[in-house]
Amino acid sequence: MIMEFARTTFVVVLVWALSRLFADPRNPWRVLDWPNARSLHERPVPRMGGLAIVLGIVVGLALGPRSLTSRWEWLALAWGVVGAGSWYDDVRGLSARIRLGLHGLAAGLAVWAYPHWPLSWLPQGTPALGGPIAFVLMTLFLVWWINLYNFMDGMDGLAGGMAVFGFGTLALLGYRAHDLPYAGVSLTVASAALGFTFTNFPPARLFMGDLGSTTLGFAAGLLIFVGADRSDFPAWVGLVVFSPFLVDATVTLVRRLIRGDKLTTAHREHYYQRCVRSGFSHKRTVIGEYLLMALCSLCAYLAVGRPASFQWAILASLTVIYGLLAALVGRWEALREANGKASY
CA-to-CA distance for 105 and 89, rounded, in angstroms?
16
Per-residue pLDDT at 319 exceeds 90:
yes
Average pLDDT, the chain: 88
Number of independent structural domains in the chain = 1
Per-residue pLDDT at 344 exceeds 50:
no
Inside any domain, residue 68: yes
Per-residue pLDDT at 161 exceeds 70:
yes
Range of the structural domain that residue 304 is part of: 2-339
pLDDT of residue 57: 95
Q: With 0.85 as the threshold, say if the pTM is over it.
A: yes
Inside any domain, residue 344: no
Average confidence (pLDDT) over 191-208 = 94
Residue 218 or residue 33, greater confidence: 218
Average confidence (pLDDT) over 190-210 = 94
Residue 76 or residue 169, greater confidence: 169
64 to 7, 92, 153, 184, 232: CA distances (angstroms): 7, 34, 28, 7, 20
Average confidence (pLDDT) over 279-297 = 94
Inside any domain, residue 273: yes
Residue 92 or residue 323, greater confidence: 323
CA-to-CA distance for 42 and 40, rounded, in angstroms?
7
For the ranges 26-30, 132-136, 147-151, the lowest mean pLDDT is seen at 26-30
pLDDT of residue 72: 79
pLDDT of residue 342: 43
pLDDT of residue 117: 63
pLDDT of residue 14: 97
Inside any domain, residue 241: yes
Inside any domain, residue 106: yes
Inside any domain, residue 308: yes
pLDDT of residue 76: 87
pLDDT of residue 276: 87
User: Above pLDDT 70, what percent of the chain?
Assistant: 89
pLDDT of residue 19: 95
Q: Judge if the upstream peptide bond of residue 203 is cis by omega within 30 degrees of 0.
A: yes
Digit-coded pLDDT (tens) for 228-249: 888 899 889 999 999 999 999 9
Inside any domain, residue 253: yes
218 φ, ψ to 5°?
-65, -45
pLDDT band at residue 329 under the 50/70/90 scheme: very high
**Count of residues in the chain:** 344
Residue 190 or residue 43, greater confidence: 190
Inside any domain, residue 10: yes
Digit-coded pLDDT (tens) for 71-130: 778 888 999 999 999 999 888 888 889 999 999 999 999 988 876 665 566 676 555 566
Using CA atoms of 160, 236, 264, 99 in order, give the dihedral in degrees to the nearest 10: 70
| Burial status of residue 52 (CB atoms within 10 A of its CB: 0-12, 13-18, 19 or more) | buried
